[in-house]
Amino acid sequence: MNPERLARIRLMLSLRQPDLTVCLEQVNKAHNIAAIMRTCDAVGIHEMHAVWPEELRENNRAAKGSHNWVKLNRHDSIQQAISVLKQQNMQILATNLSSRAVDFRDIDYTRPTAILFGAEKYGISTEALALADQDIIIPMVGMAQSLNVSVASALILYEAQRQRQQAGFYQRGCLLPENEQQRLLFEGGHPRLAAFCRSKSLEYPVIGEQGEILASEAWWLKLQLNPALWDEAHSPATPE
């Protein structure tokens, strides 16, 4: 990994906002998912959540770009997803036109926050709305009553970024656990080796301060061998 690449990844890690996320409920168009993930990366979101439609559970190749930098957590139900988010003490905001909805700019996004976005055609389910803490809307004065889900997510997330920038949240330094920093340093700095490791279920090595790989000879040997030969390569020679 060259010094420029290492510096860029470390800077990205220092700006991540682990207490800001989005949750997609049955969003079913791959280009929308990809666009939302790209916006999440752009504003410093570390991980997002999704409840997949059936067709995406079978073919989840959507968003194969920013997925290298934004961790996607898949859930079997919206109830499960929101339960996980509430365990992290996040306020749950639902993008929904209702009598109790408030302008999205009136929300305090410096609090730990998860923003729910629903399916393109049907919006957020009644189950999710019942579990949300607050409905939010994007004011509109034209004939259209809603925006594309990826456009709506960008508007709301950049308001969250603006508030957090003013509050100094992007100057806090890296808040990610060390193992997550190491994962992203290896996957981002050595993508081909990371792919080999995943294909062989081989643990990632440690990345040093200069971006170097700190690994034993045994690890390098495993990287080169078929996993079926790992035990054989480390067994003592049989005496004649």
CA-CA-CA-CA torsion sign (231, 233, 234, 239):
positive
Question: Which tokens belong to 87?
Answer: 């365990």
Tell me if 147 is assigned to a ligand binding site.
Answer: yes
C-alpha span between 143 and 134 (Å, rounded): 25
User: Do the annotations mark residue 45 as ligand-binding?
Assistant: no
Q: Rounded distance, CA 55 to CA 61, Å?
A: 11
Residues contacting 133, CB < 8 A, separation 6+ = 91, 92, 93
Flag whether 157 is marked binding: no
What CA–CA distances, in Å, run from 95 to 43, 122, 133?
19, 12, 11
Identify which of 40, 160, 148 has the alpha carbon closest to the alpha carbon of residue 106: 160
Sequence ranges of the binding site for S-adenosyl-L-methionine: 95, 138, 147
Sequence ranges of the binding site: 95, 138, 147
